[in-house]
Chain A
Amino acid sequence: MSDFLEIKDVTVTFKVGSTIAARLKGDPPPILTAVDGISFEADRGESIGIVGESGCGKSTLAKAITGLVPVASGSIHLDGVDLAGKRDRATMRRIQMVFQDPSSSLNPSLTVEKMLSELLRVHEIVPREKIPDRCAELLELVELPPSLLTALPRRLSGGQRQRIGIARALALEPEVLIADEAVAALDVSVQAPVLNLLNSLRENLGLTLMFISHDLAVVRYVSDRVVVMYLGRAVEDRPTAELFDNPRHPYTKALMAAAPKFGVKKKPGESALKGEPPSALDLPSGCRFRPRCPLAAEICEQTEPDLTGPSEIERAACHFAWDEAPA
């Protein structure tokens, strides 16, 4: 397979707290499956959006790909190299992550220059004497003035901090950049420039971008393809335009209907999706979206639908997703 980043059946589980009574009885701790058999591929330079609500496993998936949490089963290949087990420094460099909250993910006691030069030194990216120049270049890359090199994070605005977060990830010259809710904490007027920056970095540096967000509109803006997740599973994986024009999975449809839109008045008592997602510790039988699904039928209770479709790049996990001919 020529695919650059290949995620295959990745499953991540956590042992969660059990009660004292259960421990005394010797019951094993309950296992929470945060990511449950996710597979997708990404080409070099492609941008994949991952959308889902809290608890759907999107951040855990990002951490698994970055190597921040262990994978219980399945495999992650980058450019043909299996990333299983402990990664060495050179491998870790290749996949970097930008976090949601730039104020808590930057070391408050390091200046921007110290933060960046430490990375460049430890990972031996450039010869020592070139480190100051490289720091300045990195700032230029994220469109910040070089005067900020001496600044501490607390002196920076939210947008500037997030740019430093991006510069820090780029310092290691990664091939894959994972942005986990990278603009969710920013004010609306500063979100747009950061999104534009991510888009231009992808074009100019040929980065593969994985953009994780709960916000469909933002994902649409930056992604070539979108994977919609629900309770650890991918429910739809399709090119952005097709997905937004003609969503196939009832959950995707409901998410779109729920998103607030300009100029559309809410009708009293109206909501696109009834109820709340079930606990990942206590999943329903068959399709996990079934209890909230308007289409739920008998088959949904018995069989969990596979993620399939007319082609490799058009897939949805619903028994009824492809019933009508694609428009």
Chain B
Amino acid sequence: MSGNLLEVTDLRVTFDVHGRQVTPVDGVSLTLERGVALGIAGESGSGKSLSLKSIIGLLPPNATVGGELRFALDREAPIPYAPADVHGHGISIIFQEPMTALNPTMRVGDLIAEGPKLHKGMGKKEAEERAIELMRLVGIPTPERRARMWPHQLSGGLRQRVMIATALSVEPQLLLCDEPTTALDVSIQDQILGLLQELRTRLNMAIIFVSHDLAVLGEICDRLAIMYAGRIVETGPVDEVFADPQHPYTEALMTSVPSFGATTDKLIGIEGRPPDPRDFPPGCRFAPRCDYAQEDCTSADHHLADVAPGRTTACIHPELIEGLGQ
């Protein structure tokens, strides 16, 4: 079965803050094909995590969600769904901090068995066996022994593996990953990324991976969406976006991080800081920090225009971008 698995149209997340409407996610549209890994890159406050959480209905109660979400599950074409209905039915999520995301009062095996019991109608015995099978699948050594342990007895890497096993226990077609490796050491991060890549191919699962780290996204994703101030500013295949960014923010992000492969003379970084969601600038929200900003940028409407097959940008002057000269 091919075609779109998930379609998000004009997603808007609004909070009521002391009587004022704040919209940290402001018109995000995405489509995701089956088995594809999409990366969403952005800095803190860009709305990337909120977008992810709205897909599975995990927003705080004071949030209002607008726009349309469509999910295909086993059907041919995506149909609208209520986010609360997909828990355990097709979509799972893993979080950044496995210690706070795992229930500390449940043994690891019981945690993983909960999904199969609740959503797959398995009996206690069967679910426990399934848990051990899943622990083996995510590479936890001696799963029979570890299933009896509490989350606090495990290392950070193993906890993250437990969380992945929990997410996989309901056989999702889409795995949402909210910075799952940010809190981990590089060598453990490397192992978890390798594991996710393996599971993805083996289970033909689609992934949305949210991170601030472009290099991490590059290792695991097929497509990339760059978010800034509540909006997607560029999309495209990972390699093409890296090779030839079509939005100044993408380019600036890439020149802000020391590249591992080469000695950099001077990092450029971005002047100023990301805008406050309570006070987004008019027009292109990146314009106040943009090196290429023109007069008409501050009045431009946000619109993702096609620049090449499969590539879009919100920049109205992409021709000005000089490129990275690599």
Contacts and interface: CB of A to CB of B under 8 A. Distances in A.
Contact of A258 (B187, B198, B264): B187
A140 B269 CA distance: 19
Interface in A256-303: 256-274, 276
B43 interface: yes
Contacts of B219: 260-261, 264-266
Nearest to B269: A192
A94 to B, nearest CB: 29
A72 interface: no
Interface stretch (B47-55, B61-69, B126-134, B250-258): B250-258
Interface residues of A, number: 45
B43 A188 contact: yes
B84 interface: no
Contacts of B155: 276
Contacts of B260: 216-217, 220, 256, 259-262
Interface residues on B, range: 35 or more
A149 interface: no
B198 A269 contact: yes
Interface in B214-249: 214-216, 218-220, 239, 242-243
Contacts of A261: 215, 218-219, 260-261
Interface in B166-181: none
A218 interface: yes
Contacts of B261: 261-262
Interface stretch (B7-15, B19-27, B113-121, B189-197): B189-197
A34 B195 CA distance: 31
B193 A260 contact: yes
A274 B187 CA distance: 8
Given A263-B239, A276-B155, A271 B215 contact: no
B194 A266 contact: yes
Interface of B: 43-44, 155, 157-158, 185-191, 193-195, 197-198, 200-202, 212-216, 218-220, 239, 242-243, 252-261, 263-264, 266-270, 273-274
29 contacts: A188-B43, A188-B253, A189-B43, A189-B273, A191-B257, A191-B267, A214-B185, A216-B186, A217-B258, A220-B263, A221-B258, A221-B264, A221-B267, A244-B263, A258-B186, A258-B189, A260-B193, A261-B219, A262-B214, A262-B260, A262-B261, A263-B218, A263-B239, A265-B218, A268-B201, A271-B190, A271-B193, A273-B191, A276-B155
